[in-house]
Amino acid sequence: MDDTDSSDSWDFQDEDGPCFSSNGSNSVIPSRGASMCGAEGSTSNQSRSNAISHFTEMGFAEDLVIKTVDEKGEENTEAILETLLAYTAPEECASRGEPVLSHPSSPEFEWDSFDDLSDFSDAESCLQNEENLEPVPETKMMQLVAMGFSIGEVSAAINSSDPDTSIADLMDYISAAQMAEPTSDHPRELPFEGRGTPDVKKKKLVKQEFQRGREIRAWRSSRKEEMEKRKRYLSPVEDDFIKIPQLMIGFGVPRHPRIGFKRKLPDVAIGPPYFYFENVALAPKGAWSSISRSLFNIEPEFVDSKYFCAAARKRGYIHNLPTDNRFPLLPIPPLTIAEALPLSSRWWPSWDVRKQFNCLLTCYGSALETERIRKDLEGWQGDPPEHIQKRVLNKCRKWNFVWTAKNSVAPLLPEEVELMLGYPRNHTRGGGTSQAERYKSLGNSFQVNTVAFHLSVLKNRFPNGISVLSLFSGIGGAEIALHQLGIPLRFVVAVEISEVSRNIFRGWWENTDQKGVLIDNITDVTMLTADKIEKLVDYCGEFDLVIGGSPCNNLTGSNRWHRDGLDGKQSVLFYDYCRILNTVKRLMREN
């Protein structure tokens, strides 16, 4: 193609991004890291006006554009664009559950890397119960830029298509344009309409652009398949779905009892042994119906741990324990943030209305997130504007940030998470355990006070000690609950695949000078065969309690890509819990 031909749309890029795009009109797209290109001799007011006009045409609110331009300067287009996008695109993509193709150093990228481990479904539910956040309108331009496309590519695609063209079709258009780039490694000199010929900007290698387009198409294809699979899974196929109550108090919690409540267990479910199973409450539709059918059609007990501590933790429990005469652990733990973390009250702003934390996750907010919040809040006299408040508060809710100084937030410390979940201080510390491993092990654990409330009915039944088969034992939440209730641990067979969690549990066992027998050399529930169970039953003299919570990886709402329910790679281990429980029941009947 002749280099003097200006009839087509071209974009000029350097290594940092687009400079500007000519589309056969007088509009000019500003570059990242370059000043606004205007006719020589333009006045400062004209430059400011052009900048405001340009960004409002992209779909940003005019008052927000004016404020940002005045704050950053009309020539600093990179800072203006990044500030405006920070106000809009990332939060909107996250609120719709769409992935953002981020740089690996961004907090969104870090969050995605923890999806398989976190339990963010609870946090999402808590956000729904908090103040409703008003969505910020978002244009197609902003969505595509947030996905990683350059402004020039997006502008050319939008100007060459109909107004109602979908985002998916625009992505195809851009990918096709990338593949049509010249194959030379050297950049092509392209014309500027009546603006002279500045230095030619070096373009990315065609090979890199082709690879990027291929990755985008592969991502779109995989996302489409996953969404169709999820849609099929969530589609009703039966009428007996168990509905999760909005008020999660189970069969009664302290200060919220269910007066006159009685339940009748099926004969086949009555012990021995007692059994207790836990998993996330907000699982895909039909999951709890399947769990209930597999566990003798017992009605689940859905409880939010916010009635036992200062953090929400929505869980479902199926068990054959009595429900009368339960009692909580004493002293009652702090139930609000102000009670649990009194030192933070000094810095807590009046517009942060949180009284309790959302679900405690297996990961924590990055330093980049806290730095963004600090920059958002600095420079304002008094309270920041309402849109800043809402954006900061949304991040604080998502990551359970606490205020540590004026305009400064930080993640909860592992010791503070231990307090919320009812574990002894420094329970997860030591033995070479990293901070990330501490957060992960705590995020996957029981909330001790909640479990202890349910298990409290066993205190008078086992005054001489209890024999426990603990599946997916983690860091020993069930055993700590029994210990704090004053029930001696006579025999404990702990099955846990994580070496870190096993070390933490064994450390607690030794530090508390337990007198019973701990067997923790079985690391995988799939290895616990009927023969091994029979030998354990003979050795321990039968089990009084079979307890555990299978992995929630494929059930939790945070896992948007592999939320395959009980058929998922990790959550399918629930059926091993059922297999082992039935084997124990059979052996105990035979004996």
From the list 167, 137, 174, 171, the residue with the least C-alpha distance to 152 is 174
The two structure tokens encoding residue 239: 């009428």
Within 425-552, residue ranges assigned H as helices are 435-443, 448-455, 477-484, 499-511, 530-540
User: What is the layout of strands, in order, in the sheet containing 466-471?
Assistant: 301-304, 314-319, 274-280, 545-548, 466-471, 489-495, 517-519
- For 572, phi then psi, to 5°, come to -65, -15
Helix (H) or strand (E) holding 576: helix 574-590
d(CA 133, CA 390): 7
d(CA 538, CA 389): 62
Report the DSSP beta bridge partners of residue 311: 357
d(CA 529, CA 589): 18
Chain Cα centroid distance, residue 551: 16
Is the bond preceding 414 in cis, omega lying within 30 degrees of 0? no
SS3 82: helix
d(CA 300, CA 244): 9
Lookup result for tokens 């980049």: 368
Is the bond preceding 257 in cis, omega lying within 30 degrees of 0? no
The burial class, CB within 10 Å (0-12 / 13-18 / 19+), for 109 is: middle
Task: With beta carbons less than 8 A apart as the criterion, state whether 112 and 561 touch.
Answer: no
Task: State the catalytic residue, choosing from 19, 126, 396, 552.
Answer: 552
Side chain identity at residue 153, one-letter code: E
Annotation says 552 is catalytic: yes
Residues acting as catalytic residues:
552
